[in-house]
Amino acid sequence: MTQKTAYTMLMASLPPHPMSLWDVKYKPVTRLRLERQLKLLSEQDSQQLAAIESILHWAKMQEAISDAEIATEAERVIKSINNPLLQEAIIWRLELRIIVTAIRRRKLNRPPPTKQEHWGYGQVLPLIRNNWQLDDFGLSHRFPWVAKAQDLFVKNESMELEKLLLNLSWQHYEQIGQTHYFDFEAVVLYVLRWDIVNRWSQCDEQMAMLQFEALVNRGLGDFLQTA
């Protein structure tokens, strides 16, 4: 079996993602089944996918890992990949993360990072450093969503901010993958979008739990007032 045939079989075996993230009601495929289908990848492509996921997995990027460690690993992975589209996908996602990190850092009244400080990866770093006093870091021409993210962060609307960032990534992956259907790029973008679906379903579950707890507490409050 040729690699082209194998990757065509792989993508054809997976249910498509919907156009809109908000149309997602459940994961299109379980991780177990996805992993089973990914065995059709060549050894080299399987390793590259694992490396990309290791730095872009949504949950992992939320963990308490230092910015310097993420930047160092990202640079290593990007240099190891001889694929412009996948390099661009990685850099775009890392720049999104570093912009949000800068918003958080500034809200904590911390100074802008120095030139020697290894705190991110991408061309936005010097722009952020040189425009620290501007609400949008001078980035709105390229990232029109920065002002909204800043507003949501200041208002502590974490769920809305999470939705914004997830949807931005979803739309970006859909856009850059429009000419890729049965190749390795298509496989990588499918997996990255699956990760977004997984993250969104967890947020949805958390929101449902919070709403349930609020209902319970409100009901208990009414009970205590009448007791």
In-domain check, residue 29 = no
In-domain check, residue 31 = no
In-domain check, residue 207 = no
pLDDT at residue 116, as a whole number:
84
Average pLDDT on 19-26 reads: 85
In-domain check, residue 16 = no
CA distance linking residue 199 with residue 203, whole number of Å = 6
CA distance linking residue 185 with residue 161, whole number of Å = 28
Confidence label for 22 from pLDDT (cuts 50, 70 and 90): confident
In-domain check, residue 138 = yes
pLDDT at residue 58, as a whole number:
66
pLDDT at residue 225, as a whole number:
44
Average pLDDT on 195-216 reads: 68
CA distance linking residue 143 with residue 136, whole number of Å = 9
pLDDT at residue 210, as a whole number:
55
CA distances from 39 to 3, 4, 6, 9 (A): 12, 14, 10, 11
**194 token code pair:** 């699956």
Tokens 């065509």 map to which residue?
Answer: 8
**98 token code pair:** 């570093």
Average pLDDT on 162-191 reads: 94
**156 token code pair:** 């502590």
In-domain check, residue 13 = no
**27 token code pair:** 């994961």
Confidence label for 222 from pLDDT (cuts 50, 70 and 90): very low
Cβ proximity of 176 and 88 under 8 Å: yes
| Conformational region of residue 110, where left means phi above 0, alpha means psi within -120 to 50, and beta covers everything else | beta
CA distance linking residue 172 with residue 161, whole number of Å = 17
Whether the per-residue pLDDT at 167 is higher than 90: the answer is: yes
pLDDT at residue 178, as a whole number:
92
Instruction: For the beta carbon of residue 11, count every other beta carbon within 10 angstroms.
Output: 18
Tokens 């769920």 map to which residue?
Answer: 159
Whether the per-residue pLDDT at 179 is higher than 50: the answer is: yes
Count of structural domains, the chain:
1
Average pLDDT on 40-58 reads: 91
In-domain check, residue 100 = yes
Confidence label for 81 from pLDDT (cuts 50, 70 and 90): very high
| Conformational region of residue 137, where left means phi above 0, alpha means psi within -120 to 50, and beta covers everything else | left
Query: DSSP label at 132?
Result: T
Average pLDDT on 172-192 reads: 95
pLDDT at residue 64, as a whole number:
45
In-domain check, residue 9 = no
Higher-scoring residue by pLDDT: 223, 166? 166
| Conformational region of residue 134, where left means phi above 0, alpha means psi within -120 to 50, and beta covers everything else | beta
Range of the domain at 70: 42-196
